[in-house]
Amino acid sequence: MIWNKRGFTLVELLAVLAIIMVLMAAVSSLFIFSQRLFVSTSRRNNLHHSLRTTAERISNELRFAFFLELIDEPNWDVNGLDASEYSYIYLDRDTDSVILLDGDGSHILSDGIITDVAFFGNVSTLLFNLEGENGKLNYKLESSVRLLNYRCNFQNPNHPIALRFSMDPNLLIPES
């Protein structure tokens, strides 16, 4: 048996190294693309989940309200509120959070991602929109809650960002 003791030439080694480097570059670019896609999808899903959770919390708070009033942004002043009789849900623009203010104090209903809210009344259904932002992602969620004990007529102001409501059926409806 005769063994060929001749090795690889420098050109052959460089060609193999170049092919390996091209393959590695392709694999790494595919990995980077898939990683960016995963991160952006995760952010979008987290944003949607946060908005959905906030909408559910708002719905749970309001479902059995006897009285509900929409408050327009120009008429809204959180500092002058008395939460002993009525509860309030509002957008705090300083923290980008939806806040529940009741007799027990303030409770945050959302992460700090809510950029805008809008409430609309329709017979005994409250419709509301939540807009959120996470980095460059923006998302808008439309939701509603059927008010099971509601006994008032909605007055829809121009840009309501807050709600005043009561669970007490004996509480008098305030004059506007």
Could you give the CA distance from residue 67 to residue 2 in angstroms, rounded to a whole number?
100
Residue 10 placed within a domain = no
**Where in the sequence is the domain holding 93, given as residue range(s)?**
37-166
User: Among residues of the chain, what percentage have pLDDT more than 70?
Assistant: 92
Name the DSSP letter for residue 158: S
Residue 113 placed within a domain = yes
Q: In the predicted model, what is the mean pLDDT of the chain?
A: 86
- pLDDT tens-place string over residues 129-149: 999 988 888 999 999 999 888
The larger pLDDT score, comparing residue 121 to residue 4, is at 121
Of 39, 72, 69, 81, the closest CA to residue 150 belongs to: 69
- pLDDT tens-place string over residues 19-42: 999 999 999 999 999 999 999 899
Residue 108 placed within a domain = yes
Give the pLDDT score at 122.
81
Could you give the CA distance from residue 89 to residue 105 in angstroms, rounded to a whole number?
12
Our count of domains for the chain comes to 1
Across 55-70, average pLDDT? 90
Q: Where residue 157 falls among pLDDT bands split at 50, 70, 90? A: confident
CA atoms within 13 A on the CB side of 23: 6
Residue 102 placed within a domain = yes
Residue 2 placed within a domain = no
Query: pTM, whole model, 2 decimals?
Result: 0.76
Residue 118 placed within a domain = yes
Could you give the CA distance from residue 22 to residue 6 in angstroms, rounded to a whole number?
27
Name the DSSP letter for residue 152: S
